[in-house]
Amino acid sequence: MVQQLEGTVIRATGSWFDVQADGRIIPSRLRGKFRLTGDKTTSPVVVGDRVRLRLNPDGTGLIVDVYPRRNELSRRAAGRHPGLRHVIAANIDFVWIVQAVHLPEPNPGFIDRVLVAAERYQIPAGLIVNKLDLLTDADQPALKELTQRYAVLGYPVLHTSAVTGEGLDALRQALHDRVSVVTGPSGVGKSTLLNALEPNLNLRTAPVSEKTGKGRHTTTYVALYPLSFGGFVVDTPGLREFGVTDLEAVELSHYFVEFRPYISNCHFPDCTHTHEPDCAVRAAVEAGHIDKARYLSYLNILSSLQLGEKDVGR
Ligand SMILES: Nc1nc2c(ncn2[C@@H]2O[C@H](COP(=O)(O)OP(=O)(O)O)[C@@H](O)[C@H]2O)c(=O)[nH]1
Ligand SMILES: [Mg+2]
Ligand SMILES: [Zn+2]
């Protein structure tokens, strides 16, 4: 009789998966059948997945089943597997997108892409603007604008500094008792913030290169960390870019929450809100009811989806 256990994947390195089951951590491999499913993803099992495993005599596990996901956060894979769906984590309660005041500069396009990926699965999301200690008087208007842009849409915005401790209590409360993903470009301070909240995590951090203004990749695997004050947090490797995937171009506007009230008023039911006559979304942009920067993000994502759909042959 082979012993079977159920557990949660808390670390994924590519070939090994640490599964928390039965109060311990079991290093596990995937059963071969998972490689044959034809699913166009970089990995069939990710952090946050609930799995069933078989215990081997040597104490390692063999993952034999993955339970259906409540949701997932995914992006278009780059690098070795261009075009495939790269699922960052599954079964998530909240997605935080971290940006810095400076070093590196805020990237609204990145924020909007992650928000689309979160809205795709109705995962609540918010923005953390970190490195507030670097803020100068000249930056105030830009910070206010960025904050307002997302706050009016209902996305919470936190201002933090791992240096002064500003905003850390609010962040701790926000992470309490949930499974949260903390994502963003390299160098914005994701790992530093989590270390400040939970010093025994000891996540590696690295200075941002003065030359390129970009952070270095220090986190090489995705892991789900338990928080002593309750909850779990996923620290992701810094992402250079966040490509939207796993949705059709015609769905995209529904994931821009402020477009939704207008979409059904467009003349054409399959309006892409780019060139069509009687487009209610474009009219709302003209009238100032939809933020121009958000509409530009929409156009950018739309064209990358249209290109992406071509190169995967759909
Ligand atoms: N000035 C300032 N630097 C910070 C802050 N948070 C992180 N850093 C620095 O930013 C660099 C990148 O941090 P890291 O946590 O590795 O970024 P990650 O790639 O997003 O995980 C490190 O040199 C940190 O010390 C902050 O609030 N203020
Ligand atoms: Mg990091
Ligand atoms: Zn339209």
Query: How many Å lie between the centroid of ligand 1 and the Cα of residue 32?
Result: 40
Residue nearest to atom 11 of ligand 1 (CA): 207
pLDDT reported for residue 27: 96
pLDDT in tens, 191-222: 999 999 998 888 878 776 555 555 555 446 78
Average pLDDT for 148-175: 97
Q: What is the CATH number of the domain that holds 256?
A: 1.10.40.50
The average confidence (pLDDT) of the chain is 90
231 and 201 part of one domain: yes
**Pair (102, 178) in one structural domain:** yes
Overall domain count for the chain: 3
User: Which range of residues forms the domain containing residue 262?
Assistant: 249-311
Q: What percent of the chain has pLDDT over 90?
A: 71
Residue 228 annotated as part of some ligand binding site? no
Q: Does residue 60 sit in helix, strand or coil?
A: coil
Task: Measure the CA–CA gap between 12 and 105, rounded to whole angstroms.
Answer: 30
pLDDT of 62 > 60? The answer is yes
Amino acid in position 90: A
**pLDDT band of 310, cuts 50, 70, 90:** low
CA of 124 to the centre of ligand 2 (A): 22
* Ligand 1 centre distance from Cα of residue 100 (Å): 9
Distance of CA 36 to the CA centre of its chain: 27
Residue in 192, 203, 220 to alter for ligand 1 test, most ligand atoms within 8 A of Cβ:
192
Check which CATH number belongs to the domain holding 18 and give it: 2.40.50.140
The answer on 142 and 124 residing in a single domain is yes
Are residues 264 and 168 part of one domain? no
Q: Determine whether 37 is exposed, middle or buried from the number of CB atoms within 10 Å of its CB (0-12, 13-18, 19+).
A: exposed
Question: Is the pLDDT reported for residue 67 higher than 90?
Answer: yes
Q: Report pLDDT digits (tens) over 7-49.
A: 999 999 878 999 999 889 999 999 887 766 667 888 889 999 9
Q: Is the pLDDT of residue 314 over 50?
A: no
Distance (Å, whole) CA 92 – CA 107? 24
Model pLDDT, residue 313: 40
The reply to whether 242 falls in a domain is no
Name the pLDDT band for 239 (thresholds 50, 70, 90).
confident
Chain centroid to Cα 118, Å, comes to: 7
Is the beta carbon of 162 within 6 A of some atom in ligand 1?
yes
Return the SS3 of 309.
helix
Determine the atom of ligand 1 nearest the C-alpha atom of 184: 20
Q: Tell me: the pLDDT tens digits for 92-143?
A: 999 999 999 998 999 999 999 999 999 999 999 999 999 999 999 999 999 9
Tell me how far the alpha carbon of residue 163 lies from the centroid of ligand 1, in angstroms. Answer: 9
Q: What is the position in ligand 1's atom list of the atom closest to the CA of 130?
A: 27
Assigned domain for 178 exists = yes
Task: Quote the pLDDT of residue 242.
Answer: 86
Give the residue, 204 or 74, on which the prediction is more confident. Answer: 74
Which tokens in the block code for residue 64? 């034999």
209 and 178 in one domain?
yes
Rounded Cα gap, residues 43 and 159, in angstroms: 34
